[in-house]
Amino acid sequence: MPFALALTIVLALLAVFQIALAFGAPIGQFAWGGAHRVLPTRLRVGSAVSIVIYTLIAVVAWSRVGVIDAIPEIVAHVAHVAMWVIFAYFALGILMNAVSRSKPERFVMVPVATVLAALSFLIAMGYGELATPI
């Protein structure tokens, strides 16, 4: 459970960051390739969509560790498989942020993506589960 909590905290902090980007904060050099100080409309929409994705990731993580039962019993293995997909998503995020042309994005987001990948890996492996591992 502590890994799901840590993942949720990091995702919540990222959500605040994405909200700021979506509302036009001049911190675009830390996201979306770092090409814009203030994001254009299409990337602001992307930031808003990111918040929804972060929420879904947190629900899957809490489901995987057995704290909430957001996924029906019939497809109980969905949370297990989904956490592996989430791990792959964050692992790819490490690479994508590492090749960014934006030095601030590389400096900040590579460590963030690494933490998210590590936490999602531990959750996918079943560490911190309340229920019997799948």
Work out the pLDDT band at 130, boundaries 50, 70, 90: low
C-alpha torsion sign, points 61, 66, 72, 73:
positive
Rg (CA), the chain: 16
pLDDT at 71 (0 to 100):
59
Whether the per-residue pLDDT at 72 is higher than 70: the answer is no
Q: What is the mean pLDDT of residues 74-80?
A: 68
How many other β-carbons are positioned within 10 Å of the β-carbon of residue 107?
12
Contacts of 61 (CB under 8 A, 6+ apart): 3, 4, 7, 8, 83, 86, 120, 123
Q: Dmax of the chain from CA atoms?
A: 47
- pTM equals 0.86
Q: What is the pLDDT of residues 27-60, one digit of tens each?
A: 999 999 888 999 999 999 999 999 999 999 999 9
Work out the pLDDT band at 131, boundaries 50, 70, 90: very low
Q: Where are the domains of the chain?
A: 2-125
In contact, 94 and 110? CB cutoff 8 Å: yes
Residue indicated by tokens 């949370």: 79
- Least trusted range by pLDDT, from 14-18, 44-48, 124-128: 124-128
CA 41 from chain centre, in angstroms, equals 22
More confident position, 96 or 74: 96
Q: What is the pLDDT of residues 82-125, one digit of tens each?
A: 999 999 999 999 999 999 999 999 999 999 999 999 999 999 99
In contact, 47 and 39? CB cutoff 8 Å: yes
Rounded to whole angstroms, the Cα distance separating 118 from 87 reads 8
CA atoms within 13 A on the CB side of 58: 17
